[in-house]
Amino acid sequence: MSKSERPSDTSFRKTWDRAEYAQKAAERESHIKEESKARAEAKAQGKKYYPRASTPPDAKETVSRVARLDVSANVGKTMLVPAGASTGKRGRGAGFYCQDCDLTFKDNLQFVDHLNSKQHLSNTGQSGEVKRATLEEVQERLDWLVRKRREEAEAVEKVVDLGVRLEKREEELEREREEKRRKRREKRRKTEGGIGVKQEVVEGNGIIC
């Protein structure tokens, strides 16, 4: 064994890759400079700076839900849940279950709050940042809404069949009658048993409302 190959008293110590850690230091310094620049821009605009969430670089921007959240789908249904299937909120139990986070919530308000939380957005691959629409995108959206309303109006005008028009009118009248019936039922429930109705008792001859 040559003299250079002999172990020294410091050979047991861990060696560090100087190039790797120099690159990490440079990346950290660059990140600090970008964050300082973002803070200065937010302050100049009179806004509060919010640092980016700890999400992967390829995370997509947060967008609004395209479908309406149906929280009444399980109303009136019976759900069988194995004993010990969930501990607290963790696991699938009776209630509103989030498959992405493996959590169960007992009411719809907690479930909706969770869907908008950073935890859920991170688990679904979203950054939590919303893209700011440009002026051109807003104008395109407004033009699309105008075209859509015009097309709907033209489609209604093209209906020349008297039978179809009478059927549509009958449907509108039925909806109006149903709404009136609903209001009467609601008023009847409020006044059931005398609740909501002022009653005065007079001597000798019953009740005057």
pLDDT in tens, the chain (209 residues): 555 566 666 666 777 788 888 898 998 898 888 888 888 888 888 877 766 655 566 667 777 777 777 777 777 777 777 766 666 677 777 778 888 888 888 888 888 888 888 888 877 877 777 777 788 888 998 999 999 888 887 777 665 566 777 888 889 999 999 998 888 888 777 665 545 555 555 555 554 54
Assess contact for 43 and 49: CB atoms under 8 A.
yes
pTM: 0.41
CA 98 vs CA 36, 112, 126: distances in Å: 37, 10, 16
Rounded to whole angstroms, how far apart are CA atoms 133 and 128?
Answer: 16
Quick one: DSSP state of residue 112?
H
Whose CA is closest to 108, among 98, 95, 121? 95
Q: What is the pLDDT of residue 173?
A: 92
CA 70 vs CA 61, 96, 99: distances in Å: 24, 11, 16
Contacting residues for 112 by C-beta, under 8 A, at least 6 apart: 69, 71
Q: What is the pLDDT of residue 73?
A: 72
Q: What is the pLDDT of residue 41?
A: 85
Q: What is the pLDDT of residue 52?
A: 62
Rounded to whole angstroms, how far apart are CA atoms 86 and 92?
Answer: 6
